[in-house]
Amino acid sequence: MKPDDTERREAVMKVCQLFYVRGLNHQQISEEIGFSRWKVSRLLEVGRTEGFVQFRVQDPYSRDGELEAELLRRYSLEEAVVVRDRRTLSQTIREVCAHAAQLMAQIRPTPEVVGVSWGNTMAEVAAQLPDGWADSPTVVQLNGGVATLGRVPSAAQTIVNVAKRARGEALVLPCPAIVGSAELASALGQDSSVASVLAQGRRASVALFSLGALRADSVLVESGCLTRADVTWLRGQGGVGDVLGHFINGVGDIVDKGWEARTIGLPADELKQVDTSIAVAVGLQKSAITRAALIGGYSNILITSQSTAREVLRERDPS
């Protein structure tokens, strides 16, 4: 691309971000970046016609306000988004992820550092993020990954896609989610390539993550991080699922300190301190871990489906 083409693209992106993301009018944009109002209008037109800007018509009745209100009443949430179920689970997942992407683009002030987990749900959110959703943030992988599986996009791919859509920097965590011993986890955590990413993760003002059900067919089992026997044992200890690889019980407590010491990623207690922590969960199999994560205070924003929310609210919380 020629230098003048690069400058033109950057100008279009800047003007579109100011207009569509920050909500400035033509005069305010003109004053902020020194362009004439005519040039601002022209660049916005280029943004619309050349694909810099994509519009999505949002059905105002696509959400269940009653379930949202009940989740807010019962749990310490700042916001709850409950998307009405679609005909199929895959359609519901896409719609929930679209709402998650929309929420990310609406965060103000736009975050400088964003922590993100991985998996099919996060990959779908990344795919639906609008271009320019933030202003060149640092996007950090919050927990270690797994061996690449055909049905699950790689952690690196997801982190890069989130960053790319905001012209940001991607920091990938080059280690497994769970290793064979506490000693190995400690050694890897002290390696500069891992420690530097974790340090950036601690700076995140926004954390976006999905929740993992404790199942024998989970990605962690298929990748070899867990065995079926591990799943059975963790369930026997009261485990219901994981948050960033941290296995918790029905009231949100860490299941076993030995297992916890083998996990590499943002510590569970530090996740609770993130200003904006967004959990995305879809499917009845995710209801137990969703409830536990809310009780434990790991998330202050929940984005979920109607059927998942109903199941979360159906049972009384463990005492």
Rounded to whole angstroms, the Cα distance separating 20 from 13 reads 10
CB within 8 Å of 220: residues ≥ 6 apart: 146, 177, 178, 212, 226, 242, 245
Say what the pLDDT of residue 161 is: 96
Say what the pLDDT of residue 1 is: 38
- pLDDT lower than 70: segments of the chain: 1-4, 55-61, 147-152, 317-319
- pLDDT, one tens digit per residue, over 166-207 is 999 999 999 999 998 999 999 999 999 999 999 999 999 999
> Where do the structural domains in the chain lie, given as residue ranges?
3-49, 65-314
Mean per-residue pLDDT over the chain, rounded: 91
CATH class in words for 65-314: alpha beta
Radius of gyration for the alpha carbons in the chain, expressed in angstroms and rounded? 21
pTM: 0.80
Q: Please tell me if the domain spanning 3-49 has the same topology as the one spanning 65-314.
A: no
Rounded to whole angstroms, the Cα distance separating 106 from 112 reads 14
Let me know: does 162 contact 130? Beta carbons within 8 Å.
Answer: no
Domain 3-49 grouped into CATH 1.10.10: yes
- pLDDT, one tens digit per residue, over 241-250 is 999 999 999 9
Say what the pLDDT of residue 219 is: 81
Q: Which residues of 86-125 are buried (b: 16+ CB within 10 A; e: fewer)?
A: beeeeebbbbbbbbbbbbbbebeebbebbbbbbbbbbbbb
